Amino acid sequence: MDSFTAIVIAIFLPFVFAGFLSPLERIFKDKIGWFAAAVALVSFLLIAYVAPDIIHGEIIEHTVSWVPSAGISFSIYADGLAIMIGFIASGIGVIIMSYSNGYMSHEEELTRYYQYLLLFMGSMIGMVFSANTIQLFVFWELTSITSFMLIGYWRHKPQSVYGATKSLLITAAGGLFMLAGFLLLRTITGSFDLTAIFHDPYMIETIKGHDLFLPILILLLIGAAAKSAQGPFYIWLPNAMEAPTPVSAFLHSATMVKAGIYLIARIHPIFSGTDAWFILVSGIGISTMLLAGFLALRQTDIKAILAYSTISQLAYMMTMYGYTTYHDPGIGVAAATFHLLNHATFKACLFLVAGIVVHEAATRDIRKLGGLWREMPITFVIASIAALAMAGIPPLNGFLSKEMFYETSIEMGSLLGSPFNILIPALAVLGGVFTFAYSIKLIDGIFLGKRCDEHLPEHIHDPSAIMLIPAAFLAGLVILFGLVPSIPIHYIVEPTTSGILLETVHLHVQLWHGFTPALMMTIVTFIAGILVYSRYDNIANWQNRFNSGYPWISVNYYYDHLVDNAKEHAHRFALFTQPGGIKTYVNAMLILMIVLMIIPLFTVTTTLIPSNLNFEIPLYEGLTMLIMIVAALTAALYHKYLLAVIALSGVGYMVSLIFIYLKAPDLALTQILVETLSTIIFLLVIVKIPQTFRERIPKTVLARDLCIATAVSLTILVLLLNATQGIVPPFESISHYFIEKTLPLAGGHNIVNVIIVDFRGYDTLGEISVLCLAALGVYNLIQSREERE
């Protein structure tokens, strides 16, 4: 099996089995989760099968034509970056799906749950291996949709429905901005293929010098920030915590929210090295890191703390990717990558612990928890390892990547010079201080302190091995990566960094690296962190006071107002523009038509009425017209049906007179027939209804209608006057043709007959069929009447 096939199977296997999960449920019953985990494991192994080549510096590229006419192909691009996220997606997928067997109760709709999980996993793997931007977008949106379905999984809770809608609106809309960015990028490069751009330095230069560079970068960053909950878009992630906890661990800490970071890394070769890149990426990163870290202190729900901490940790990575503009890109990218990997391990582990706590203690409120370490010793140990890693305590993996973050911040600061040489490291330390404080809070609040007996069940114990082993495994990784950093560095971080930077990178990371300035910053972080922790409640209270005092200083405030008001305003707008009466509709159309017709007339001629009018109206024609006008007025003004109908038919008869003046007797004859017939029908109807009618029309309405009617007739008059001007038909009458050809072609002397049966045979056929149809209709009417009787 070649690498390409392996990757394609790894992507589509979850999709296929997601489809087959419903029938398979009959076989596996409530063990269906293990089956799903096995599917995830196969995907993981397939990626592992490809991995050795990638680690040795190879890159797998393969393209299959998909929609060649639109320039879209199905392209696989496997480098270190893709393999790393692929590993995380499938590996954590296995862990989560196994864990869910213990977490989800058997009464739930398990098939639906695992279906979504598998679909998500397939989309995530598909996304990271995409070389074609459109293919990437397709998988990207699929992850948004599956996330939407999973957040709303517990449908009976209104909050989860709110959270699901919010996440879809923000992430999917962000995806559309990303798509716009890709489309604009294509106008420069002429290709949707990212790899084609990577391997062409000249192209990258062109993009950087192009006017559209900044718009494209901003559009792509909006997509990335929306997905990774950065900047103002962070608001969806805390609400997404309504999903079942394994889902939060999987999607909203380890994988899906990394998609934005992945995008930043993926486009790094194209956009990095510019001021805009540094300012935007690091700017979003630093501000989000501080804001989310600070807001985390206020949360009382343990999952909310984890959500804000995820936002803040993702911001670390953003910040470091942004730094690469000025200093040696190797360090920043490597640090970001290492942190991404570490975060996936310790944060997923913490979420699993949160799941265990919820499962056993039945509450997520940190104020109601406490003192659980006695009853859940193993969980306590696992939680402590993960939380301390997040706080950056040696010898755990979080310590190493945080040190690297400090190192890059110092270097960045010194490159920019005063005052940044103090400011940037100081901000970095501040972010670390918040992280330290809430990490400690998690352990202290849940496991240490006093047990709140009134809120907790009597007996709490460690969960079954099904839930414990996945968490313990992740905690093991946390320690392993910390103690022997060369393993992840060599096998994962180096290939990934090489993939991002498009050159081979060698890194040296050791647990003990001497008394560096970064270590000093870590020590400062710990001391300040303990200080902040001692004032933890004061800070939280201050935030609560601030929030109730100034509710408008919050992104959520605007989101809720926007969504609620949009609906309300749209409703009012709809009522205003669509009041329902047909009269309004017709009036609107007529007024618009008048305006639209007068404007072009003015642009073409200065005078509305042509100056060279030359009408000779004979007396009898004028008289006919006058009678017509009087009859029309009578029809409009009289309140008796009979008179109105007769007056109306009078108009019709006068029209037929005009036809006679214009030498069209056949037309006149038809007109007379039609008029007579319709008058008779009218009269037949009138017999059945009241003879008079009196409408109460308000004066204003009457005036309005009068204005519109006058305007319409004036416009038509002007049009007709113009239409009679100067058009010379560029063709001859066809009557000569018939006169000449009737005898030789059709052998008939009666021209009219020949025209009807020969020259226009099809017309006649059509007319006959119309008559037949009419007859059928009449017959049907009579028939249905009999049926009713």
Partner 1 sequence: MTDLMLLAPEITIVVTGLVVLLAGLFMSTPSKKILAYFSTLGCIIALVLTINSLGTSATLFSGTLGINALSQFFKLVFLTVTLLVSIASIKYTEGNSHTEEFYTLVLFATFGMMMVASAEDLMVLFVAFELASLATYALAGFEKQNPRSLEAAMKYFIAGALSGALLLLGISFVYGASGTTNISAVAQNADLLMSSPMGLLSVVLLIAGFGFKIALVPFHMWAPDTYQGSPSVVSALLAAGSKKMGFVAAFKVFIVALIGLQADWTIAFAILAVITMTYGNVVALSQTSVKRMLAYSSLAQAGYISMAFVVLTPMALTGGILYALSHGFMKAGAFIATAAVVYMVFKDDKKSEIPDHIDNFKGLGKRMPITALSLTIFVFALAGIPPTAGFVSKFILFSSTIESGFVWLAVIAIINSAISLYYYARVVKYMYFIPAEGERVSEPAPYVVALLIAVFGVLAIGFWPEPFVQMAMNAADVLI
Pick out residues in 138-157 that bind partner 1 (CB under 8 A).
Answer: 138, 141-142, 145, 148-149, 152, 155-156
Residue from 690, 698, 730, 747 touching partner 1 (CB under 8 A): that is: 730
Contacts of residue 293, Cβ cutoff 8 Å, sequence gap at least 6? 308, 309, 312, 430, 431, 434, 435, 438
Query: Could you check whether the bond before residue 690 is cis, i.e. omega within 30 degrees of 0?
Result: no
What b/e readout covers 465-483, taking b as 16+ CB neighbours within 10 angstroms?
Answer: eebbebbbbbbebbeebbe
Helix (H, G, I), strand (E, B) or coil at 63: strand
Residue from 504, 510, 516, 783 touching partner 1 (CB under 8 A): that is: 783
Per CB under 8 A, contacts with partner 1 among 601-630 are: 601, 603-605
From the list 414, 436, 409, the residue with the least C-alpha distance to 282 is 409
Residue from 179, 229, 241, 492 touching partner 1 (CB under 8 A): that is: 179
Residue from 5, 584, 691, 750 touching partner 1 (CB under 8 A): that is: 584
114 binds partner 1 (CB under 8 A): no
Residue closer to partner 1 by CB (options 141, 675) is 141
CB 499 within 8 A of CB 409: no
776 binds partner 1 (CB under 8 A): yes
719 binds partner 1 (CB under 8 A): yes
Which amino acid appears at position 590 of this protein? L
Residue from 23, 600, 744, 747 touching partner 1 (CB under 8 A): that is: 600
Which amino acid appears at position 158 of this protein? P
Residue from 94, 121, 164, 382 touching partner 1 (CB under 8 A): that is: 164
Residue from 63, 486, 556, 722 touching partner 1 (CB under 8 A): that is: 722
Dist. CA 8–CA 76, nearest whole Å: 8
Contact segment (CB under 8 A) with partner 1 among 37-45, 135-143, 661-669, 750-758 equals 135-143
Q: Hey, CA dihedral for 109, 112, 116, 122, is it positive or negative?
A: positive
Per CB under 8 A, contacts with partner 1 among 39-98 are: 65-70
CA 575 to chain centre: 28
Residue closer to partner 1 by CB (options 126, 499) is 126
Q: How far is the CB of 187 from partner 1 (least distance, A)?
A: 6
Per CB under 8 A, contacts with partner 1 among 332-391 are: none
251 binds partner 1 (CB under 8 A): no
Q: How far is the CB of 68 from partner 1 (least distance, A)?
A: 7
Dist. CA 120–CA 143, nearest whole Å: 5
Query: Could you check whether the bond before residue 419 is cis, i.e. omega within 30 degrees of 0?
Result: yes
Q: Which stretches within 281-391 are classed as H helix?
A: 283-296, 302-323, 329-361, 377-391
159 binds partner 1 (CB under 8 A): no
Longest dimension (CA), the chain: 118
189 binds partner 1 (CB under 8 A): no
Residue closer to partner 1 by CB (options 516, 780) is 780
669 binds partner 1 (CB under 8 A): no
Angle at 540 between CA 535 and CA 542, to 5 degrees: 95
Number of residues in contact with partner 1, rule: CB under 8 A? 76
Contact segment (CB under 8 A) with partner 1 among 36-44, 178-186, 318-326, 693-701 equals 178-186
180 binds partner 1 (CB under 8 A): yes
187 binds partner 1 (CB under 8 A): yes
Contact segment (CB under 8 A) with partner 1 among 174-182, 269-277, 448-456, 750-758 equals 174-182
Contact segment (CB under 8 A) with partner 1 among 132-140, 468-476, 527-535, 542-550 equals 132-140
Q: How far is the CB of 293 from partner 1 (least distance, A)?
A: 30
Residue from 593, 623, 637, 681 touching partner 1 (CB under 8 A): that is: 593
Per CB under 8 A, contacts with partner 1 among 549-578 are: 563, 566-568, 570-571, 573-574, 577-578
From the list 54, 194, 127, 130, the residue with the least C-alpha distance to 494 is 54
Residue closer to partner 1 by CB (options 580, 690) is 580
CB 335 within 8 A of CB 401: yes
Residue closer to partner 1 by CB (options 160, 288) is 160
Residue closer to partner 1 by CB (options 68, 514) is 68
Dist. CA 417–CA 533, nearest whole Å: 32
Q: How far is the CB of 105 from partner 1 (least distance, A)?
A: 17
β 72-78/60-67 pair status: antiparallel
Residue closer to partner 1 by CB (options 541, 725) is 725
Dist. CA 511–CA 517, nearest whole Å: 15
From the list 319, 332, 265, the residue with the least C-alpha distance to 291 is 319
For tokens 């998609």, the residue is 259
Dist. CA 675–CA 157, nearest whole Å: 68
Dist. CA 174–CA 177, nearest whole Å: 5
Q: How far is the CB of 261 from partner 1 (least distance, A)?
A: 22
Q: Exposed, middle or buried: residue 229 (CB in 10 Å: 0-12, 13-18, 19+)?
A: buried
Which amino acid appears at position 430 of this protein? L
Residue closer to partner 1 by CB (options 188, 519) is 188
Q: Which two tokens stand for residue 364?
A: 């997520």
765 binds partner 1 (CB under 8 A): no
Contact segment (CB under 8 A) with partner 1 among 251-259, 375-383, 405-413, 728-736 equals 728-736
